[in-house]
Amino acid sequence: MATITSDLAGNSQIYDRKSELKNFDESKVGVQGLVENGVTKVPRMFHCEQSNINDLSISESNLKLSIPTIDLTGIHDDPLLRDEVVRKVQNASEKWGFFQVINHGIPTHILDEMIKGTCRFHQQDAKARKEYYTRDLTKKVVYLSNFTLYQDQSADWRDTLAFFWEPHPPKAEELPKVCSDIVSEYSKEVKALGYSLFELLSEALGLNRFHLKEMGGAEKFFLLCHYYPPCPEPELTIGTTKHTDGSFMTILLQDHVGGLQVLHDNQWVDVPPSHGALVVNIGDLLKIVSNDKFTSVQHRVLAKHAGPRISIASLFRAHESEGMPKVIGPIKELLSKENLPIYRDTSLKEFLAHRFTNGIGFSALSTNRL
């Protein structure tokens, strides 16, 4: 749809957003392609409402706030330490929806190499990247810029390389050679950590430790390897629009650049990088099945002059196969006369369709409330 605007001299100009999006998408080189071509002004398709950037901005008081950090030392062999960790996980999941884990068992050199591997892919020759560019999400390896490019009000200053590992992993020959080994190794490590965290979260809900995994919370597992190029005008756009995750749980590895912010008590709080640590956040699906005992909160990534910023989000979600609809709703063991269901049962397909149709900033939670 074309809109009529005026330039500084008052002359009318026609802006065709649809064509700009199409031309950008068909270039198949993402935001990094713009930077490689020497862009000095942020194209209009990336301009977002200033409220998205400036609303509830960081104040001095917010700088004193930080998401909880939880040490996972001893969770597999010391019952007392495990009980203490479960209490901390419960508190963080109820009050913040975000926490950071240390001593999680994944060697630091693997984390570092995963960041380097992501960087290698996004900085390789544009021709090599183009081979993986697609919007066909049935593929196991997908490179694109903005999953909901045509649904969002504005595009984010970010490119993504995605790997869909479960329930059926990609074949070795499908993986990009510049990062294939580390992606396989990191995926194995972070999946094992995810299973351990699901156990802690189950116990934090007062359930059997295997409950969330057995109900299918980790059936689908995928990596989103994000690349945020340096931005010439970060005040006009954003790295990732404020949103909640449509997962059960997300584990995030971020590099040293920073920019991630979490909305807590109506204030944006920085999540500064901590080398060797991983950030964990509760997704909308876990909020639903816990009947609001756990919270999923909005978060965003600011665009920056500095860069690139690299992060790898590992998302765990239920899987819905053809002919076998997956129903998502509050866990029956958590309900009582005093704790009635807040959400209706719904199919996973319907839940995800709402999110995809309405864009990244849309939360499907409101459509599922009773």
Residue 207 domain flag = yes
Q: Which residues contact 23 (CB under 8 A, 6 or more apart)?
A: none
* In the predicted structure, residue 349 carries a pLDDT above the cut 90: no
pLDDT of residue 359: 64
CA-to-CA dists, residue 322 to 62, 319, 325, angstroms = 46, 10, 7
In this prediction, residue 56 carries a pLDDT of 46
Q: Mean per-residue pLDDT for 297-311? A: 96
Asked whether residue 40 is domain-assigned, the answer is no
Q: Is it the case that residue 192 has pLDDT exceeding 50?
A: yes
In a domain, residue 23? The reply is no
174-194: average pLDDT: 98
Half-sphere exposure of 126 (CA within 13 A, CB side): 12
Mean pLDDT, rounded, for 265-279:
96
Q: Which pTM does this prediction carry?
A: 0.92
Residue 158 resides in a domain:
yes
Measuring CA to CA, how many Å separate 11 from each of 5, 6, 14, 44?
Answer: 8, 5, 10, 17
Q: Find out whether the peptide bond into 167 is cis, omega within 30 degrees of 0.
A: yes
Q: Residue 55 to residues 58, 118, 228, 275, 365: CA-CA distances in angstroms? A: 9, 31, 21, 29, 22
Classify the phi-psi angles of 291: left when phi > 0, otherwise alpha if psi is within -120 to 50, otherwise beta.
left
- 13 inside domain: no
The whole-number pLDDT of residue 8 equals 44
**Higher confidence at residue 366 or residue 160?**
160
- Confidence grade of residue 50 (pLDDT, cut at 50, 70, 90): low
Q: Is 11 part of a structural domain of the chain?
A: no
Q: How confident is the model at residue 188 (pLDDT cuts 50, 70, 90)?
A: very high
pLDDT of residue 284 exceeding 60, the answer is yes
Q: How high is the mean pLDDT of the chain?
A: 91
The domain total for the chain is 1
Structural domain range at position 182: 45-324
61: CATH: 2.60.120.330
Is the dihedral angle over the CA atoms 271, 272, 274, 275 positive or is it negative? positive
Convert the pLDDT of each residue in 219-253 to its tens digit: 999 999 999 999 999 999 999 999 999 999 999 99
Is 15 within the bounds of a domain?
Answer: no
Measure the CA–CA gap between 317 and 284, rounded to whole angstroms: 10
The H or E element that residue 315 is part of is: strand 309-317
Q: Is 105 left (phi over 0), alpha (psi -120 to 50) or beta?
A: left
Residue 118 domain flag:
yes
